[in-house]
Amino acid sequence: MAPSISSCAVCGVEANLKCGGCKNVVYCGKDHQKVHWRKGHKAMCKCVELKVDEVMGRYLSATRDIKQGEVIFREKPLAIGPKVSCMPMCLGCNVFLTLKPKEKNYYKCSQCNWPLCGPSCEKSPLHTEECSLMASRKFKAQINATPAEEGKKEAAYCAIVPLRCCLLKESDPEGFQRLCELQSHLEKRIETPLYRVLKANLITFIKTILRLDFDEFTIMRITAILDTNCFEIRHQHKNIKVRALYPQASMIAHSCVPNTTHVFSEDFEFVLIATVDIAKGSPIFVTYGQTLQGTLQRREHLRQVKFFECFCERCADPTELSTFAGSFNCTRCNNGKMIPTNPFEDTAPWRCSACESEISAKQVINGNRAIMTEISELDQHSPKEFEAFLLKYRDILHGTNTHMLQVKYALSQLYGNIPGFQLQQLSEAAIIRKIDICRELLEVGKLLEPGLSFFRGYLLMDLQSVLAIQAKRDFDNKTANREETLRLLTEAMDLLQEAVKILSPDPALKEFIDTKVQEMTTLMQL
């Protein structure tokens, strides 16, 4: 069953009394909380503990066996707000602002002049404290709508979350203390051009304009803590994209083969869910990277943004768990695959698995770079261009090479979703193509993001949609009889059920899921 985040653990009715220990289960009342405790929750409460490792630093570990699909913990954000650079958004409710017809500018807060979505957000608990401070210092924000530059990002927003963190020192000293204990990597970040700019803006705003009693080092450390630990939240259905800090979730270590996924509730609670069974004593992992990238790119990304070297099981394996995602075909023997002689060493040569011929790491890195540029220059709305890329490179790049996988993933999104290629408009060939691509990617997903991962969830949803369309078409065209059609629809239904199980904990996907279920219900009525 899909993990529910709002029904009583005993009777299943909608509930909101949370277990104060693990915050993982809710009850309709104290009586059912007691019943559940006696029935075994006592042993299940809090399934993670903090540990320290020489390489990973602090991390969370399972205190007992955790079952696939279990909610491991929930946590409210300690701080939330705009990303470093973002489009104008309401500081009261986080929604991106848009102009209504005939409006020339956004509604502005009567006290501090920051854009808000309306008068009610002036009183939002998220905004009142910072607003009073800014008003008391006579600070007036200067952000105006620029219809000619729609989507323009405003750098001024970079100061809001650091400011909210500074204000915690008074309003929530315990929370502020927890924040200060998080990792920052400030010593490395401070040298970067971004930090030079941030430093100039933030110090002026917080120390000089708002006259808060914080030294430069603390302000920059808070900024670096945010960059190291914040999660990005996208609630597309509400036009929201923010960053938020969760002290406990900040302790989760990275692996390129994660054993959890996470969603954010409507009110931005972090919900961590086990994607596979996790044995007692195992670390809890999320992924900070992108699954379809090869080891070279993933490790480089982690080095750049999180300042560590990844030694996970996938990075350690030259075959990347038998996917050979970072590898490419040997053009000398046309038989083997080129794999790194040492995946932890970026300068180590690459060798063919069959003929043992070698090439330098530099050649591999340059080759990857050229191909990535080529992909970025493809028309992102043209299945034809993506297909042409796959054809062009089919001799050099095998089917599960990172570049091929990324292009196939893009194609799986284009077929069925863009004008001219909506599901109902797809040709017979495009339908078969989409089915094949989804199946191929799901095979890779099984190895790299197994279990209830969102990577698999979206692909399952895509595959069921296109299978259902094919079944319906074949039936209508009389190329399949009722029995054959029902067999295909049943397969689609099974995939849909698995997709719903994976995706339904995310409230942002509710409408999407409801639509898919509705589509399938209609199709099943042959």
Ligand X SMILES: C[S@@+](CC[C@H](N)C(=O)[O-])C[C@H]1O[C@@H](n2cnc3c(N)ncnc32)[C@H](O)[C@@H]1O
Q: Which stretch binds ligand X (CB under 6 A): 57-65, 85-93, 214-222, 380-388?
A: 57-65
Angle between helices 454-476 and 402-414 in degrees, nearest 10: 50
Q: At closest approach, how far in Å is the CB of 283 from ligand X?
A: 8
Instruction: Select the residue interacting with ligand X from 254, 262, 403, 456 (CB under 6 A).
Output: 254
Q: Which stretch binds ligand X (CB under 6 A): 68-76, 125-133, 307-315, 492-500?
A: 307-315
By the rule CB under 6 A, 316 interacts with ligand X: no
**79 vs 116, beta carbon nearer ligand X:** 79
Q: Which stretch binds ligand X (CB under 6 A): 6-14, 181-189, 231-239, 395-403?
A: 181-189
Sequential DSSP letters for 357-386: -EE-HHHHHHHHHHHHHHHHTS-TT-HHHH
Instruction: Select the residue interacting with ligand X from 57, 118, 119, 281 (CB under 6 A).
Output: 57
**79 vs 503, beta carbon nearer ligand X:** 79
Helix (H) or strand (E) holding 108: strand 107-108
Please tell me the distance from the alpha carbon of residue 252 to that of residue 260, in angstroms, as a whole number. 10
Instruction: Select the residue interacting with ligand X from 108, 178, 306, 398 (CB under 6 A).
Output: 306
| 449-467 CB burial, b ≥16 within 10 A, e <16 | bbbbbbbbbbbbbbbbbbb
Instruction: Select the residue interacting with ligand X from 96, 107, 308, 512 (CB under 6 A).
Output: 308
**Radius of gyration from C-alpha coordinates of the chain:** 26
Output the six-digit token pair for 219. Answer: 């302000």
| SS3 call for 262 | strand
Instruction: Select the residue interacting with ligand X from 251, 276, 411, 467 (CB under 6 A).
Output: 251
Question: Which residue bears the tokens 């920051």?
Answer: 114
Q: At closest approach, how far in Å is the CB of 29 from ligand X?
A: 37
Q: Which stretch binds ligand X (CB under 6 A): 271-279, 289-297, 306-314, 478-486?
A: 306-314
By the rule CB under 6 A, 178 interacts with ligand X: no
Q: Which stretch binds ligand X (CB under 6 A): 21-29, 55-63, 417-425, 516-524?
A: 55-63
CB 439 within 8 Å of CB 467: no
Amino acid at position 454, single letter: F
Q: Which sign does the torsion angle of CA 96, 132, 223, 286 carry? A: negative
Q: Write the binding mask 203 to 232 for ligand X: x where contact by CB under 6 A, - elsewhere.
A: -------------------------xx---
Please work out the total of residues on this chain that contact ligand X, with binding judged by CB under 6 A: 20
By the rule CB under 6 A, 37 interacts with ligand X: no
Q: At closest approach, how far in Å is the CB of 309 from ligand X?
A: 7
Q: At closest approach, how far in Å is the CB of 451 from ligand X?
A: 19
Output the six-digit token pair for 500. Answer: 């719903």
Please tell me the distance from the alpha carbon of residue 341 to that of residue 266, in angstroms, as a whole number. 47
By the rule CB under 6 A, 50 interacts with ligand X: no
Instruction: Select the residue interacting with ligand X from 4, 111, 183, 497 (CB under 6 A).
Output: 183
By the rule CB under 6 A, 401 interacts with ligand X: no
Q: Which residues pair with 245 in a beta bridge?
A: 79
Please tell me the distance from the alpha carbon of residue 125 to that of residue 60, in angstroms, as a whole number. 31
Helix (H) or strand (E) holding 239: none
Please tell me the distance from the alpha carbon of residue 287 to that of residue 37, in angstroms, as a whole number. 33
Q: At closest approach, how far in Å is the CB of 252 from ligand X?
A: 7
Please tell me the distance from the alpha carbon of residue 63 to that of residue 97, in angstroms, as a whole number. 44
| SS3 call for 244 | strand
Instruction: Select the residue interacting with ligand X from 56, 242, 495, 496 (CB under 6 A).
Output: 56
Sequential DSSP letters for 168-182: HHHH-HHHHHHHHTS
Instruction: Select the residue interacting with ligand X from 55, 99, 333, 355 (CB under 6 A).
Output: 55
Q: At closest approach, how far in Å is the CB of 406 from ligand X?
A: 23
- Contacts with ligand X, residue ranges (CB under 6 A): 55-59, 182-183, 185, 228-229, 250-251, 253-255, 306-308, 310, 312
